[in-house]
Amino acid sequence: MPYTDRFIATDNLIGHLNTFVGTIADPIIQANYAGFLSVSSITVYELAIKDIFNEFAIQKHKVFGTFSTSHFSKINGRINISDLKGVHIKLFGEKYLTNFKKKLEDKENTHVRASRISIITDYGNLIMCRHEYVHKGAPTLTINEVIDCYKNGKEVIHCLNDAMKR
């Protein structure tokens, strides 16, 4: 399955939530929807990241693919950019780490120039929101901020995929 198929569930959820969430007056209910959506968003990010690494390894060698599938089954919750750079991509070699850093920097610069929004910051903010909601019951973003961060943060995942090409 292409890693982009992982986004379908959350994209569909956003489409559904957009039909009524703006009409909810209770801020607690709105916060719960934001928290729920942040969990869904990070879940699909984790699955997409696993797919990217596993697809890369499987294409290299069947045994490497088996190892990768086992290794990345434990990635849950460790997908911030410092983990991607310092732990996960590093395992595949300096070439891929350098490639990711370059692609991410280029995409970040392009995005900031075009919209004044940092995909790196939005990606991190979404991870933090999910963490705060899961562990404290209080998301740090509104529902609209979660949606924006999710959409912008997908660019980080696309950079990872582009960097993990042979």
Each residue of 54-90: pLDDT tens digit?
888 888 888 776 877 777 787 777 999 999 999 999 9
Quick one: pLDDT at residue 61? 82
> How many angstroms separate the CA atoms of 104 and 99, rounded?
8
Give pTM, 2 decimals.
Answer: 0.93
Question: Predicted confidence band at 160 (pLDDT cuts at 50, 70, 90)?
Answer: very high
Digit-coded pLDDT (tens) for 124-157: 999 999 999 999 999 999 999 999 999 999 999 9
CA angle at 61 for the pair 57 and 65, rounded to the nearest 5° = 40
Give the chain's radius of gyration (CA, Å).
Answer: 16
